[in-house]
Every structure is written in C-alpha cells, then in structure tokens.
Amino acid sequence: MTRRVDGYALGTFSDAAGSFAGLVSGDRVLRLDGTGIGAEGLTVRDLLDDWEAVRTRLPELAATLDSGGGKPLAELSVRAPVEPRQILQAGANYRNHVAEIVLSSRESGDTRSDDELRRDAERMMDDKVRTGSPFFFAGLPAAICGPDDDVLLPAESAQVDWEVELTAVIGKTAHRVPRERAMEHVAGFTVCNDVSARDLQFPAEHRPLGGDWVRAKNRPTFLPTGPFLVPVEVLPDYRELAITLDLNGERKQSDVAANLLFDVEALVAAASAATTLYPGDLVLTGSPAGNGGKWQRWLRPGDVLEAAISGIGVQRNACVEESR
C-alpha cells in the first residue's frame, strides 16, 4: 500500500535489520534511535514515557526529511505503532450506532414505528450523556496486529465482524483527570479495528454474566492498529475527522467523530477515574453504525478490510482462515 503523511507522525517500522521507532513525514521515515532523543533500540512507548520533552523535538526532526533524509517509507514494513500496557474500549458510543442497536433489538410486541424508535433512542442518548457514564471493556495487547497484517478467522466462529474506531493514545500518566484537562494527557490518535466474533460474544451459557468479551474480541489479530500515531498538534480538531470502513471496496461504515456520544475528553476522564492510564495506553472511542450485524454480512476468507481515518491513515487487512 502506498502511504504518505502530511505533517508528521510516529510509527514502528521494520526492515531486514529488525524493527525500530521512526518519524514519518511525506513518504520518508527517520529512525529515531540515532537522533539523541533516546537510547539505541528505543520504542514508541519509550518516546511516550518522555513525551513532553520528545514532542518539542519532532518538528525539527521532521524538517530533515524535507531534504531527502531518512529512508523511503515504501521500502519499510509498517507495524502497529505502539505496544500499550492497557487497552480501554468504549462501547455503543456513536449516535447512529446506538439507534441501529435499538432498532435491531426491537421486541416482537413493540408497535412503535422506526421513526418513533429513533426519537426515543435520541432522548435516551441525550439523557445518558447528561446523567450517565460511558461503557468500557478491557482489551488485551495480545490481540493487536499491524495495519497490513492478515486477520485470522477462527474456525469456531461464523460471525466475525468489524468496527473501525478513532483511538486516543495516552502520553502522560492520568488518574482522576478532570474533563477540562483530559487532552493534556493525550499524545495523539491512531486507527483501530475492533474485530469481534459475535457468535462467541453472547453464548447462552455466559449471557447472564454479560457475555464472553475475552473470547469474542481478544483473539490474535483481532485488533489491527495503525498505521501511525499522529500527534494532537498535527491534526485538526479530532471532531472533524472522517471515519470509514470498506469491505472489498464497498463502504460499510462512515461517520465523523463529532457524533460521539461521549467525546474523547469525557472518555479519558471516565477511564482515568476507574484506573490509572499510562503512556502508550489506548482508549478506543467506539464504532460508528454499519458493522456486520446491520448488513447481516460476516467476514470470510479472502475479504479485505480497509479502515481509514482522515489525517491518520489507512489499514488494509486481508482475512484468512486461522490454521489449527
């Protein structure tokens, strides 16, 4: 896949010699462990551990790529940009997605029209934002794969689904952070695709306990991440970012982050009230409408997923059957 970065971004790359943390600008990548901002073998998480100092150096380092420094991006493999300690994922956090869930879960005796159901869902969402709190579940770092890696479809699931999500990357330890200071703790944003085995998520035996989130959502390769970590100061207002997912070239999801129920500030504040967030941790903000349940279309070997967010980049993941 041909990629190019306007401004600059961080990433993890590999060549024949191994993987390394790099700064990408345009179509070139600067290896960062030879620039004086960290020891040999440093990772992106190391950079985030010292983010306040590192972030001030990035513009001048990116300028060196304007004159042809570094390596061509096309000659490198792009890996997931960061290895988080923790992953917090918000559920049901886009207005259209929640409305879609309400419509699809209509009980047989419900005589309300679709328009009435949508209006009731909007009122419910407004009340939740005003008086409620976000819903979070935890992800496992072992589920992460790179933006170009294959997604492995397990034989025991016939309903593997997709969900593109804007993802905040923490750049400063956060605990009980107030909403108005939440963005001070966000280094930047990346793209995640929360792949899920729906028929393993709510089996009858586990439904009284709330479902089996580990087995359904944390399988190997079920969290494609990247391609890059774009610092907050490089992006426009995150609410303007366009979020899309294409399946075999057909648009399945499309929204903008302005339609989040709980915005990034609210999510970081709520997550940091529940636990301590550390540099490199990921906070997934939820998925727009249009996942497999809506289309009654589940992933099959040979499918290609393209998850994209404007200003951050595109993932391209082929689906293959997991070998046993």
d(CA 92, CA 289): 9
- The confidence score (pLDDT) of residue 101 equals 67
- The confidence score (pLDDT) of residue 98 equals 66
- The confidence score (pLDDT) of residue 68 equals 86
- The confidence score (pLDDT) of residue 233 equals 97
Is the dihedral angle over the CA atoms 120, 121, 122, 128 positive or is it negative?
positive
Left if phi > 0, otherwise alpha if psi is -120 to 50, otherwise beta: which for 252? Answer: alpha
SS3 category, 133: coil
SS3 category, 283: strand
Q: What are phi and psi of 98, to 5 degrees?
A: -65, -45
Q: Tell me 94's DSSP state.
A: B
- The confidence score (pLDDT) of residue 129 equals 72
**99: confidence class by pLDDT, cuts 50, 70, 90:** low
SS3 category, 85: coil
- The confidence score (pLDDT) of residue 95 equals 74
One-character DSSP codes across 19-36: EEEEEEEETEEEEGGGTT
CA 220 to chain centre: 16
CB 147 within 8 A of CB 227: yes
Q: What are phi and psi of 188, to 5 degrees?
A: 180, -160
| Number of alpha carbons in the 13 Å side-chain half-sphere of residue 86 | 18
| pLDDT surpassing 70 at residue 206 | yes
CB 98 within 8 A of CB 126: no
| pLDDT surpassing 70 at residue 86 | yes
Q: What is the pLDDT of residues 229-283, one digit of tens each?
A: 999 999 989 999 999 999 999 999 999 999 999 999 999 999 999 999 999 999 9
List Cβ neighbours of 111 (8 Å cut-off, separation of 6 or more).
none
Question: Which residue segments constitute the domains of the chain, with CATH numbers given?
Answer: 5-79 (no CATH), 87-321 (3.90.850.10)
CB 274 within 8 A of CB 134: no
> What pTM was computed for the model?
0.93
- Position 110: which residue type? D
Q: What is the pLDDT of residues 130-175, one digit of tens each?
A: 778 999 999 999 999 999 999 999 999 999 999 999 999 999 999 9
CB 69 within 8 A of CB 27: no
Q: What is the pLDDT of residues 299-317, one digit of tens each?
A: 999 999 999 999 999 999 9
With residue 196 as reference, give the H or E element that holds it: strand 196-197
